[in-house]
Amino acid sequence: MERKRDHELWVGVFVVVGIIATFATLFVMTDAATFRGRYIITTFVPSAGGIRRGDPVQMRGVNIGRVQRFRMAPEGVAIRLEIEGEYEVPVDSHVELKSGSLLGGMIAEVVPGTSQKLLRRVDSIPGKSVGGVFDSASNLASQSEKVLERMQAALSDRTVDIETADKLTDPQIVARVKEHFLIDR
């Protein structure tokens, strides 16, 4: 009787180990996104621009997934995007990597195309890096610097003299210009 009980115990242990091994194999051999109802698409960009794992993927301002991982590729950087299964992405879409905030977060923005055909698992779409907030601020700063240089040139000793000051019509501006250049009349 005791021998039969030991035999049943060992059979039970092997069944439990077999079930755990089956689930472990399924989990390792398949992508975890499949179990969560998501699908994976890949985009290739020349430069990842600071994107990190877990950064949001958006389409029309709505979070539709996250950056799963990326790797170096001959074309630049291959970025795998994990997309929620409820969102459909047209085949002729593309991805733009943008700055998401002033704190440095990045967003992978899916710009939808017009095709009726939709992306499926493991499809790839083109991508590009787009200038973010800091690029715009840098352009604005350089343009402001040019404007200031022009104003300084226009108000320099060579261009402003007594005759120019007299041609100004606003008495407050005339007074300031004369005061600045110490013009005595």
H runs (alpha helix) in 30-132 = 32-35
3-state helix, strand, coil in the chain (%, to 5): 40, 30, 35
Q: Which residue has the tokens 């969102």?
A: 87
- The better pLDDT of the pair 88, 28 is held by 88
Give yes or no for a contact between 46 and 128, defined as CB atoms under 8 angstroms apart.
yes
- pLDDT, residue 92, reads 92
Residue 21 has pLDDT above 80, yes or no: yes
For 10-14, 135-139, 152-156, which range has the lowest pLDDT when averaged over its residues?
135-139
Beta bridge partner(s), residue 73:
76
